[in-house]
Structure 1
Amino acid sequence: MAATTEYIELVVGNERIAGTILAPRRRMPGILFVHGWGGSQQRDMLRGRHIAGLGCVCLTFDLRGHEKTLEQKQTINRAQNLEDLLVAYDRLIEHPGVDPERVAVIGTSYGGYLATILTSLRPVRWLAMRVPALYWDEQWQLPKQQLDRPRLMAYRRSRLGPADNRALAACAEFRGDVLIVESEHDEHVPHTTIMNYRSSFIQAHSMTHRIIDGADHALSSERCQEAYTSILTGWISEMIIGDRIGHLS
């Protein structure tokens, strides 16, 4: 199915950030991509083109503090980036090709963390997270660059649950389908963090957990990038096909 491409701007307060909508030519599920800290929408656009071809409307965008707004990286905080995500979500479901009851959010690292919080604020049917990072709830307004890195790594190695963390609490309330993709040799998100997320999805309709062998946090090798693309597109295809069958039965 051919996809159309629309370059858009998202208005957050008095600022504008770039986004791209990739859409088929009829009303379909919406897919929202959220990149990680220090990333951009570029990798997401490549995967979005594949997924749009399955019959989905995909929106990718650059969080503030990245790409055209890189000068804000030292001052941007989690509250502001969550606002970016909310604006992007609302723009996606406004698209005439999107079914607002069939929305998937795909987040990487920091983007995965923000995506889980989004599920407590907006309806999300499917949630995919690659190497989801975790942050303590306090210092929410502190610029992200100023968070204590050694303390953060120690926090991520701790056993935590929904009562300890806002993102994990959102996971505990989520009732849709979940995909978690872990890197075998992740230097930023330890296995304990992944298991904290996984064990928090106590009401999820389904849970899929995959580990990319030999992968680091950034998926530095092309082999690992391809492995993730295969996992993600396969899972999205399964979710969409299953959803269509359910609508026909």
Structure 2
Amino acid sequence: MHSDPVSIHVDGQVLAGTVAVPKTGVPGVLFVHGWTGSQETDLGRSQEIASLGCVCLTFDLRGHAGTESIRQSVAPADNMNDVLAAYDTLAAHPIIDKSSIAVIGSSYGAYLAALLTEERPVRWLSLRVPALYRDDDWTIPKGRHDRLALAHYRQERVDPADNRALKACTRFEGDVLLVESEVDDRIPHATVANYLASFRRARSLTYRIVEGADHALSDPAARRAFTGMLVRWIREMVVGAR
């Protein structure tokens, strides 16, 4: 906290005043949606978190929403560039504290969010049902990935040395929220376990399971449960740190 003197003019008089100003700006929160999703899924959560005193940014990845027509040509490398551009847009906001940025990713977006921590400063990281992809598929359009091979890969124990997203997690030193869906038919527990084991240097690691939830949180009760988990974590970690 620092103080700035001000002059208050009233009825021909000048009164001396002092404005107390926080040393840090406002925390920023970046949302990254999953494959075939859109920012629409995060708008409600972003509004709740914004009410806590954060600046939130949601956006549509390339190949989604307004650019869905090019989806079949979009590779993970392309969407990573989208995430970097979105992060830079958020960080450039004049009231953002650039040392206090949280990233919230779901599924494919969680995979990209983990990779983002290698490229930009991230203080808080929330990953819901994080997907995992083979490094060899990085520049291949996602629609052309071998789904059967990928399903087998996600059941394996993957060493962080062999996967760039998991390797990024081993280097992350901030706070982590990792959320699994109890009846997920896309991201098996083995994949979540690979992420859990990779956060070796995290300042804190919170792991939660949304009971009865599928991958997409199609049940309204499951959506509410996850939103509650996320908002409580943001309140504790982000708001509590101010």
Deviations 1:23-76 (CA, angstroms, capped at 9, x unpaired): xxx931000000000000012111000000000000000000000000011110
1:133 and 1:140 mapped to 2: Cα distance?
14
2:198 maps to which residue? 200
Q: What does residue range 12-91 of structure 1 map to in structure 2 within 5 Å?
A: 27-91=25-89
Partner of 2:137: helix, strand, or coil?
A: coil
2:173 and 2:192 mapped to 1: Cα distance?
18
Percent identical pairs in the alignment equals: 56
Contact 2:53-2:239 within 8 A present in 1 as well: no
1:242 maps to which residue? 240
Partner of 2:122: helix, strand, or coil?
A: coil
Segment drifting more, 78-87 vs 157-166? 157-166
Deviations 1:126-145 (CA, angstroms, capped at 9, x unpaired): 00010000001002111001
2:221 and 2:240 mapped to 1: Cα distance?
28
Q: Which runs of 4+ in 1 moved over 6 A?
A: none
2:105 and 2:207 mapped to 1: Cα distance?
15
Deviations 1:176-220 (CA, angstroms, capped at 9, x unpaired): 000001000101100000010010000000000000111100001
Segment drifting more, 233-242 vs 129-138? 233-242
Segment drifting more, 134-143 vs 168-177? 134-143
1:144 maps to which residue? 142
2:236 and 2:47 mapped to 1: Cα distance?
17
2:13 maps to which residue? none
1:33 and 1:209 mapped to 2: Cα distance?
19
2:161 maps to which residue? 163
1:107 and 1:179 mapped to 2: Cα distance?
10
2:33 and 2:239 mapped to 1: Cα distance?
25
Question: Which residue, out of 169, 172, 175, partners 1:174?
Answer: 172
1:115 maps to which residue? 113
Structure 1 portions without partners, runs of 5+:
1-25, 245-249
The code of the aligned residue for 2:194 comes to N
User: Alpha-carbon deviation of 1:161?
Assistant: 2.2
User: Alpha-carbon deviation of 1:242?
Assistant: 2.9
The code of the aligned residue for 2:185 comes to E
Relative to the length of structure 1, the TM-score reads 0.87
Larger Rg: 2
1:211 and 1:203 mapped to 2: Cα distance?
22
1:40 and 1:97 mapped to 2: Cα distance?
26
1:230 and 1:136 mapped to 2: Cα distance?
32
1:154 maps to which residue? 152
Deviations 1:92-140 (CA, angstroms, capped at 9, x unpaired): 0000121000000000000000000000000000000100000010021
RMSD: 0.9
1:194 and 1:240 mapped to 2: Cα distance?
24
1:156 and 1:128 mapped to 2: Cα distance?
20
User: Alpha-carbon deviation of 1:164?
Assistant: 1.4
User: Alpha-carbon deviation of 1:162?
Assistant: 1.2
The code of the aligned residue for 1:76 comes to V
User: Alpha-carbon deviation of 1:241?
Assistant: 3.4
1:79 and 1:207 mapped to 2: Cα distance?
27
Relative to the length of structure 2, the TM-score reads 0.89
